[in-house]
Structure 1
Amino acid sequence: MRQAMIMLAALCSAAPAWAEDLPYTADMAQRPNFSKAYHTMTELPEWVSKAAAVSTPMGNIMFNGKAYLVGHLCKPHDCADNQLEVIFSRDGAQAWGLLSQRVEGRLYQMPLGTPDSVLLAAMHAAYRANNQGITP
């Protein structure tokens, strides 16, 4: 992390003088010629957003006296590299996820739905359970 910060600082300090005239990032992301790329970057993969995935039966879990449902999805024909752990509140009003993607052998995981530390730990545990015997 420290190395990344040093690299970012070096890039910023080495920027040419014209960089001072650039707009704010949020403004740039809304410009027509940048907006499409920005929105493409922030979209979830279609197999996630449409739940067009291979899945497992839901399971029941309890945390702090509350019942939840937990499940697992993965991208068809690419389950080893693209997975989603999902926890639903029992009434279906809330959902949280842990999107796991392996790119060039490296695992990237992104929480979805702002889970608290207990729910996030449960999704990490579910990921490990669903991937037993798979080399990281």
Structure 2
Amino acid sequence: MRVRFLFLLTSLLLAAAPARAQDTGKPMANLLKQPAYVSAWKTMMAGAAAPFWIHEYAKTLDGPPTPVLPVELFGETYLLGFTCKPNACEGNQLFVLFAPRGRDAWGMLAAAPAISWLGRPSQHIKDAITGALRK
């Protein structure tokens, strides 16, 4: 009985891992097919004066297939995704950091020559995004 309990407990803990291995390395569009990540995205975008192309991306999920990257923060693994404006990627980029299991999201919009933030990130979140981009 005790062995069965330990097996069940171990299985549950592994299933609740902060960043699922199958999400790392896939495009952000894959995350945005999961309800928790969609909810986090919508919360991040609420009240944001974002360019049209970002709203269009959220509808179509048509963007570069850049894989999300794991970012260690607060002892957990967050996922950093990327998209950009079609045919004008260089000066119109969006980086989105998702908390584990899609419980929150924050964005850094790099639209030349300015950078703006979505989702009201703390300084720690901003540092995590910019630090991951320097690597």
Please name the residue that 1:108 is paired with: 114
Mind listing any 5+ residue stretches in structure 2 that lack a counterpart? 1-47
In the alignment, the residues of structure 2 paired with residue 78 and residue 126 of structure 1 have an alpha-carbon distance, to the nearest angstrom, of 23
Asked if residue 77 in structure 1 is aligned to residue 83 in structure 2, the reply is no
What is the deviation of 1:65?
A: 0.6
| Amino acid in structure 2 at the alignment position of 1:53 | G
Cα shift readout 1:40-74 (whole Å, capped 9, x = no counterpart): xx632222123243241111111121221011111
Tell me the number of residue pairs that the alignment of Structure 1 and Structure 2 aligns.
84
SS in 2 for 1:121: helix
Please name the residue that 2:53 is paired with: 47
In the alignment, the residues of structure 2 paired with residue 62 and residue 127 of structure 1 have an alpha-carbon distance, to the nearest angstrom, of 13
| Amino acid in structure 1 at the alignment position of 2:88 | D
Q: TM (normalized to structure 2)?
A: 0.55
In the alignment, the residues of structure 2 paired with residue 43 and residue 64 of structure 1 have an alpha-carbon distance, to the nearest angstrom, of 29
Mind listing any 5+ residue stretches in structure 1 that lack a counterpart? 1-41, 130-136
SS in 1 for 2:131: helix
SS in 2 for 1:57: coil
Q: As a proportion of its length, which structure holds more strand?
A: 1
Provide the identity percentage. 33
Q: TM (normalized to structure 1)?
A: 0.55
CA distance 1:125–1:54, shift in 2 (3 Å): same
In the alignment, the residues of structure 1 paired with residue 54 and residue 103 of structure 2 have an alpha-carbon distance, to the nearest angstrom, of 18
